[in-house]
A and B are shown apart, each in its own frame.
Chain A
Amino acid sequence: MSADFTITVSPDFSPDHIAGWYIFNTWLQRKLDVGIHLELYDDFESQRAAIAEDRIDIIYANPFDAAMLVREKGFEAVARPHGKTDEAVIAVSADSAAKGVEDFQPGLRVARTDDPDVNMMGLIMLEPADLHRENIEQQQAGNYVLVAKALLRGEADAGFFLKEAYDDLSRIIREQLRVLITSQIGVIQHCMLAGPRAAELRAPMIAALLAMADDAKGKGVLEAMGLQSWDPLDQEDTEFMIDLMDTLVS
């Protein structure tokens, strides 16, 4: 089957689920009877460049990018993952003197990835200590294991993690770290969106995703992606998410 469309996934997916997204793409092509190419990007910057050049038709998007996709590129809501919201953790080395965020001082060295919604939540959780972009030093790491390593080596004082990624760290690493604060926001979610060229696929895709957990095959694919099922997402839900993100971005 030749690829008529291109799908991509927010680069913050867990490495354990790469195979799952390939399996999902095969499943989706069979369900929709069209050719779809899965293009994965190593980082948000290269993915955003592809979106800017209109090379993406379907995306499992980070909520941070939803405003740009919907308002600038005309993407529309398809579905959102059931029971899966993005939460952030600020962790320190187990022997850090900090007992809470308010113990941090200007000049704090923060290790983080390029995951935009986690970094936004992490910065919000530093605000009670009067810390912000201008008075902390941010160090970008390629993934969450490297964020943890920066803490263990004493190269950073605090690390921003996606909660799910923190929980997936090995027990040995987690035993050498300590969680200072975990967000409990509950409304920031990734979402599946379809672009203008894939508009004809939107309705059949909604139907296929919402029924995905009803059969054994679909369920197996969901498990491989680390998801339980999909919930409906209408355009107003997406607009609300965009408004919410808008209030959080300074």
Chain B
Amino acid sequence: MQDMKASDVAGEYREVTLTYHDGSSRQVLVTENEVPYPEGKLIVSRTDNAGIITHCNQSFVDMSGYSEAELIGQPHHILRHPDMPAAAFGDLWDTVQRSEKWHGYVKNLRKDGNYYWVYATVIPNVRKGEVVGFTSVRRKPSRRRVEESASLYAELLKGEAQ
């Protein structure tokens, strides 16, 4: 995955190098601007078993800031925000590996360095008894739950940094 480009980002930003679970890393550029979740919409995507995006709907494209062509074939962690602790995604992965549904509040990073919060649900796609991929649906979260999650994640991040 390519590093984020300063030319895509408006305003002030900080640079962070993210290292993903597969050992790859990427330089991301992060602003402090939140983009509100669009009213009444669902953000839908599907990945294969390796977490590579195979389908996404228009709301996913619009909120991510990338084009559909830039998203398909990329790992889902293209949206990973450095304020999200690895533990949150570890829990997600452990849960869906048990063929269970995962729910959680997630801060996502856009192509332009801005962020948006979602309430996400991920389920394994089971066909003929085999998991063939994952469907993820995000909806508008409540502010109270976003604020609770933001402080929890900040604590977890502190712990991970030590």
Contacts and interface: CB of A to CB of B under 8 A. Distances in A.
Q: Do A and B belong to a common assembly?
A: yes
B137 A127 contact: no
B138 to A, nearest CB: 9
B77 to A, nearest CB: 19
Contacts of A15: none
**Majority-rule SS of B interface residues:** mixed
B145 A244 contact: no
A244 B135 contact: yes
Interface in A141-190: 181-187
Interface in B114-157: 119, 121-123, 125, 127, 135-137, 139-145
Nearest to A246: B123
B86 interface: no
Interface residues of A, number: 21
Given A127-B140, A128-B141, A246-B101, A185 B125 contact: no
B53 interface: no
Nearest to B138: A247
A154 B94 CA distance: 48
B40 A183 contact: yes
Interface string B38-56: 1111101010000000000
B27 interface: no
Most chain B CB neighbours (cut-off 10 Å) among A128, A187, A243, A247: A247
Nearest to B145: A130
A249 to B, nearest CB: 9
B40 A247 contact: no
B141 A244 contact: no
Interface of A: 102, 124-125, 127-130, 181-187, 239-240, 243-244, 246-248
